[in-house]
Structures are given as C-alpha cells and as structure tokens.
C-alpha cells in the first residue's frame, strides 16, 4: 500500500506547492487504495475516477504555473456524502425511491468545495434518508468498519468516515442532525466537526432547523479546519447564517490555562468500560498539556433527550420520511420506517411546546457546566460499536450491563443538536478491545469554534493517529 493515500491534506498541499508531489500521484494512490479496500468497506457508492484523474492533471498544471493559480483545495480528492446535491451527479439519499435522482443544482457547500479547487472523486454511502446512526441501505448495501468489518461505521455520514479511515479520500463532507458527523468520526477513528448552527449554509428548508448542520470530516484536526474554512461563512441564499465569517487560524495556541469539564457518564447513561477508560485517559492528556480539568455531573436524563429529539423530528424530519413511507413503504428499509413511526408517534403524544420545554431543561444543564468551564469533554457514543447491517428494529443495545431499548440512547451526540449553538469536535480517543475506535467530543461555548480546534490540535499533537503504517486498518 502506498503511504500517499494517508497523507494529510495540509501536507499534500504543501508538497504540491513545493512540487515534490503531483496531484496526479495522490489521486492515483487514492484510487488504487479504493480498488483494494472497497470490496470490504463499501464506502464509495458512486465514483468518478477518470474525471478525477483529468482534474488532477489540470491541478498539476496549476502548481507548475501552466494554468490558473492554485486555490485552497486544488488537487485534493474529496468525497461528498450522498445527500449533498452536486449538479449533474446522483443524489439518492441512500433510498431506492430516489435511485435515479440527478441533482439539478449544487448546494452551497458543494459550490464552495468546487470553487476552491477540490476534486469530487466519489460520493459516499448513507443510510436511507440519513436517518440512522449506522450505514446500510437497500440501494447501496452494507458499509463496514475498516478497523473491524463486523462492526458498523456509524451514520449517517458513515461512508465519509469509513473512506477517510480506509485511505480512499483526503477530505469528506458530512451532515449532522443528531450526530451524523460525530458518530461516524468516532467509530472510524477520524476527526469530525459539528459547527454551531448558522456557521455553514444549509439547504432549505432544513437551514431553518436548528438541529441541522453541514460539517467536515478529516483525518487530522488541521485538515478538518482546512475544509471548515472553505465551507463556512454567510451566503445570500441562507439568511440564518451568522456573519462575519469565522476563520480557524492555521497556528493554534495550546490549552494551557483553559478550563475543561470532564463528563464521562452524563445523567443516567451507562458507559462501556473501554469508552470510559479512553475518555479518562484523554482528560489526563489535557491536564498534561496544561488545561485544568474537573470531573463534573451533567444532570440530564436519557429519556428526556430521546423524547425531546423525537418530538422535534416528528414535526419535520420524521414527518417527511413518514410521507414517503405512506406512499412507498414497500421500497423502504425497516429502520427508516421505524424512525418515521417512532418520531411521528412521539409528536402525537405531546406538543411542540412540551418538546421545547424539555430542550430548555437540557440546555440549562449544559449551560450550567459551560458557565464555569471553557470546554466540556465527553464520549461521543457510550457503546463500543454497533453491528454492521443490523437494522436495530425490535431490539436495542447492551452497554455496561444495562439494556437500552433503543440504540439511539447509546448516542451522546443529540445533546448538542439540541444545544445547537455549541461547536463540537470529535477526536479519536483510543480503541475498544474489539478494535473499533472510540471518540471524544470536545464541546465549546456557543460560537467559540476556535477554542475547540485549539483543544483538538493540542490533544492530537503528541499522539498523531494514523502516522505509522502499522496503525492503519486493512493492512492485509
């Protein structure tokens, strides 16, 4: 295997500029890696390898002063999630219902990536309608974890996370309505950022939904910041975007003097022992880096979070899926049907006002912790992994000896779709004993994105994750 397919995007750009590496060489390495691992991983649902190589040759010309000047992403292979419209490309959302759908426009995020010189060499798999924390569908099949193919890659940006871990993309896009950037980042051992609401333009009408966020995934914190800086910023088509644009600096201060709250097990959540141990080890690393870390309680209840999220989804996201189910349920996946039924039922049994009251209580608990700390450190998920291909219909998961009726309760990500103005960066925290990576959420105060990137970079600096070939998945 060529090491080039794991080259950090920021390092690739440096080498392009100094002419010690060609974009064509990088693209060829990524394509060769995909041809080797895709039969196992199945993260790339549509590929454009011939077109990507042609674009890479044009990028080479730019760096050799034979064409237009290089732009921020020129020459990088970027995988785009199969729910983000790119004009002229398929955009099925992982559903048989839209298997023949071709996008008639490009979303703002896609426009910005292309305008910055990024090369979309592949689309990545999602669960149907991006409605699950795992990734398989009747359209694209099962996407498997590169670290242990018996396990799931998370979702809904599961193909993006798996592609990065497997070495088949330099950067990738994701979206996050309940954790869909952070869950796959955690299970695949990569970096994923949920920006605060309004930081990155979103497609209407979901730009009006405070739970919804477009965000970057990458293998390093610096790479994640690179893509975030391209896609972030106000746009005239999205009036909920905040201004002015915030840029994450290339050089980030350390964490000396920062205060962080450690929350290993919020409220009544059980936590897998490996997840808890890796979270505590991460907290110790922050202490060693100079931060003051205090373990605290976060007074939230699993059922309140689940109910608040399901009421919210029942009013929009779940209702949209229910409309599809009523018309074409025989073509849909069991988990999508269950998600629609459960969320619409939650709304029938409550009012939007009751959901808002639950959300307010949850946000108050988070605000109490962040009032006395600049950061919160928390596991991304409490389980060591979900089984690849399991619909999780009719059963839940067992975590730390506690049976959870719904796998949704194993996710700690929805807390910060509720508290949507908080920036959250997932960084790898270690491995469970089954080989599946575990993740740490670094949570900041509202709109203090730079602080979470400072923390992520300081945490990563002494422990680069995929720097050595023996630490990469699918070595056989």
Residue 476: exposure state from Cβ atoms within 10 A (0-12, 13-18, ≥19)? exposed
Catalytic residue, candidates 157, 175, 180, 420: 180
Do 359 and 369 contact (CB within 8 A), yes or no?
A: no
Q: Is 338 noted as a catalytic residue in this protein?
A: no
Q: At CA 424, angle to CA 237 and CA 116, rounded to 5?
A: 45
Facing residues of 442 across strands? Answer: 377, 425
Q: Is 2 noted as a catalytic residue in this protein?
A: no
Do 90 and 132 contact (CB within 8 A), yes or no?
A: no
Rounded Cα gap, residues 326 and 320, in angstroms:
10
Catalytic residue, candidates 22, 95, 106, 156: 156
Residue carrying the six token digits 């292309």 = 114
**What token pair was written down for 82?**
């199969």
Q: Is 156 noted as a catalytic residue in this protein?
A: yes
Q: At CA 373, angle to CA 369 and CA 378, rounded to 5?
A: 65
Catalytic residue, candidates 81, 95, 106, 157: 81
How does strand 424-431 pair with strand 171-176?
unpaired
Hey, which residues are catalytic here?
A: 81, 156, 180
């Amino acid at each position: 295997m060529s090491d080039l397919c794991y080259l950090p995007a920021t390092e690739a750009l440096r080498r392009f500029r100094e002419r010690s590496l060609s974009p064509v060489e990088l693209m060829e390495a990524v394509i060769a890696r995909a041809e080797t691992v895709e039969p196992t991983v199945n993260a790339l649902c549509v590929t454009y390898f011939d077109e990507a190589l042609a674009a890479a040759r044009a990028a080479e010309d730019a760096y050799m002063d034979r064409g237009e000047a290089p732009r921020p992403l020129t020459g990088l292979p970027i995988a785009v999630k199969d729910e983000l419209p790119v004009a002229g490309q398929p955009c099925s959302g992982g559903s048989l219902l839209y298997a023949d759908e071709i996008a008639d426009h490009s979303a703002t995020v896609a426009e910005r990536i292309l305008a910055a010189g990024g090369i979309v060499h592949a689309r990545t798999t999602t669960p149907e309608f991006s409605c699950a924390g795992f990734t398989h569908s009747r359209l694209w099949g099962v996407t498997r974890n590169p670290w242990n193919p018996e396990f799931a890659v998370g979702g809904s940006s599961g193909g993006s996370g798996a592609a990065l871990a497997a070495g088949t993309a330099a950067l990738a896009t994701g979206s996050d309505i309940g954790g869909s950037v952070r869950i796959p980042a955690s299970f695949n051992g990569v970096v994923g950022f949920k920006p605060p609401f309004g930081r990155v333009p979103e497609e209407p009408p979901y730009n009006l939904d405070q739970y919804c966020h477009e965000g970057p995934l990458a293998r390093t914190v610096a790479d994640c910041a690179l893509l975030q800086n391209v896609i972030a910023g106000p746009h005239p088509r999205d009036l909920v975007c905040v201004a002015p644009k915030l840029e994450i600096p290339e050089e980030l201060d350390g964490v000396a003097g920062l205060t962080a709250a450690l929350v290993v097990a919020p409220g009544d959540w059980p936590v897998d022992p490996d997840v808890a141990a890796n979270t505590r080890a991460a907290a110790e690393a922050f202490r060693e880096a100079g931060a003051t870390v205090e373990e605290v309680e976060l007074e939230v209840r699993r059922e309140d979070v689940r109910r608040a999220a399901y009421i919210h989804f029942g009013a929009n996201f779940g209702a949209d899926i229910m409309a599809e189910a009523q018309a074409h349920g025989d073509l849909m996946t069991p988990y999508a049907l269950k998600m629609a039924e459960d969320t619409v039922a939650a709304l029938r049994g409550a009012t939007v006002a009751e959901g808002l009251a639950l959300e307010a209580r949850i946000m108050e608990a988070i605000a109490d912790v962040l009032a006395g700390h600049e950061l919160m450190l928390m596991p991304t998920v409490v389980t060591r992994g979900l089984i690849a291909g399991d619909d999780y219909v009719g059963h839940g998961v067992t975590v730390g000896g506690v049976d959870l009726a719904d796998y949704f309760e194993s996710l700690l990500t929805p807390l910060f779709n509720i508290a949507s103005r908080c920036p959250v960066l997932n960084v790898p925290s270690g491995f469970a004993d089954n080989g599946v990576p575990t993740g740490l959420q670094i949570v900041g105060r509202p709109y203090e994105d730079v602080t979470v990137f400072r923390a992520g970079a300081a945490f990563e600096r002494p422990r680069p994750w995929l720097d050595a070939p023996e630490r990469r998945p699918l070595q056989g």
